[in-house]
Amino acid sequence: MSLISPADQDKLREAFNEMTSRVRLLFFTQTLGCETCLQTRQILDELPPLSDKIAIEEVNLVLEGEKAKQYGVDRVPAIAVVGEDGAGAPGVIDRGAGAPGVIKDSRIRFLGTPAGYEFISLIQAVLLVGGRKPSLTDANRQRLAAVNTPLTLQVFTTPT
């Protein structure tokens, strides 16, 4: 049984239809000691059937620690939203590391189960990386693009 109602599935399918490039969700998990990993996987599994532009890749925090580190992930469940394919979305900046032109890390991460409002945020991130125009004003986009030292934002939320 699906976690998403048929009506919402239709809405999502429609939104995903606008995507111009592929998005891969790296799902960081571990086998033991993660109460919410299964639930997170179940939520993520709802998405690929709604769009051929969305794929899920599971990364085991313990077995693939190096990869987790590369994405700045040290706890689970976590999700990294990355752009896929070379002819990618305008505005995505290749990080340089890794396979050039194949994976473009958006540096957008989710820690914890993407339920409730976090689910909406995840969908927004997928659409953004999938090619939708950012909601930032031009002035703000320029200010941010000029940032030349590392800036890490942690946004705390609770399920609603």
Partner 1 sequence: MAFVSPNITTYAVEATEFPDLARKYQVTGVPKTVVNDQVEILGALPQDAYIEQALSVLSPAASEPEHETKR
As a whole number of angstroms, the distance between CA 29 and CA 78 comes to 7
Work out which of 61, 110, 126, 130 binds partner 1, going by CB under 8 A: 110
Q: Which one of residues 55, 103, 108, 123 is an interface residue with partner 1 (CB under 8 A)?
A: 108
Q: Which is nearer to partner 1, 5 or 154 (CB)?
A: 154
Query: Does position 140 bind partner 1 by CB under 8 A?
Result: yes
Site for partner 1 in 7-36 (CB under 8 A): 36
Cβ atoms of 37 and 77 closer than 8 Å: yes
| Cβ-based neighbour number of residue 155 at 10 Å | 7
Give the Cα-Cα-Cα angle 97, 103, 63 (nearest 5 degrees).
75
β-bridge partners, 55: 24
Q: Which is nearer to partner 1, 15 or 115 (CB)?
A: 115
- Among 49, 91, 100, 101, interactor with partner 1 by CB under 8 A: 91
**What is the Cα–Cα distance from 152 to 72, expressed in whole angstroms?**
11
Out of 113, 126, 130, 131, point to the residue binding partner 1 (CB under 8 A): 113
| For partner 1, the closer CB: 4 or 127 | 127
Q: Are strands 22-29 and 54-60 parallel, antiparallel or unpaired?
A: parallel
95 belongs to the binding site for partner 1 (CB under 8 A): yes
User: To the nearest 10°, the Cα dihedral for 130, 126, 73, 76?
Assistant: -150
Residue 48 as a binder of partner 1 (CB under 8 A): the answer is no
Q: Cβ closer to partner 1: 16 or 88? A: 88
Residue 102, CA distances (Å) to 8, 18, 56 in order? 31, 21, 15
User: Which residues sit at the interface with partner 1, rule CB under 8 A?
Assistant: 36, 72, 75, 91-93, 95, 106-113, 118, 121, 128-129, 134-137, 140-141, 143-159
